[in-house]
């Protein structure tokens, strides 16, 4: 299902630890920025992800990711991560994001999450509450 999702923008400052010897942000560090941005997206729209995990015993494992690195980020850069939900089904929810540096897009991504029980790892339906406050109506 294509969605009309709200969007949120979250700033992140590149840490020294995020860089590698090529003097740019290591490609794995973007996963951190995206994950933080998803949690902040939810918080901004009134959904507390941490409380959700504790209350339900469910988590949202990443099951697929497509990442495009268009330009480098460097230590101390202030990046803007724009995040939205691009699609949802019973089994999955897709978060898309664009990362900008001084206004220019440097990274584009689509990350698909599933829902699983912490106890036994069984796959569950995506709970409505993950989506309901996040859609434009």
> Which chain residues interact with a copy of itself by CB under 8 A?
13, 15-17, 19-24, 26-29, 31-32, 35-36, 39, 49-50, 53, 59, 61-70, 72, 74-76, 118, 121
| Residue 82 bridge partners (DSSP) | 9, 98
> Which one, 53 or 135, has the nearer CB to a copy of itself?
53
Q: How far is the CB of 136 from a copy of itself (least distance, A)?
A: 26
CA 90 to chain centre: 19
Question: Shortest gap between Cβ of 4 and a copy of itself (angstroms)?
Answer: 26
Between 13 and 135, CB nearer to a copy of itself: 13
Written as six digits, the tokens of 87 are 């699609």
Cα-based distances in Å from 45 to 9, 24, 39, 92? 12, 32, 10, 19
Among 87, 79, 84, 13, residue whose Cα is nearest residue 45? 84
Shortest spacing between CB 23 and a copy of itself, in angstroms: 4
Whole-angstrom Cα distance, residue 52 to residue 45?
14
Q: Which is nearer to a copy of itself, 69 or 131 (CB)?
A: 69
Given the complex with a copy of itself, which of 35 and 129 has the nearer CB atom? 35
């Amino acid at each position: 299902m294509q969605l009309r999702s709200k969007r949120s923008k979250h700033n992140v400052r590149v840490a020294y630890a995020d860089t590698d010897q090529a003097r740019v942000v290591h490609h794995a560090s973007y996963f951190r920025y995206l994950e933080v941005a998803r949690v902040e997206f939810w918080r901004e729209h009134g959904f507390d992800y941490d409380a959700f995990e504790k209350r339900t015993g469910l988590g949202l494992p990443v099951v697929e990711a497509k990442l495009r690195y268009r330009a480098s980020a460097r230590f101390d850069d202030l990046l803007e991560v724009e995040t939205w939900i691009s699609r949802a089904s019973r089994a999955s929810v897709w978060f898309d994001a664009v990362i900008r540096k001084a206004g220019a897009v440097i990274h584009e991504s689509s990350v698909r999450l599933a829902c699983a029980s912490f106890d036994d790892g069984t796959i569950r339906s995506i709970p409505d509450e993950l989506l309901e406050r996040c859609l434009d109506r």
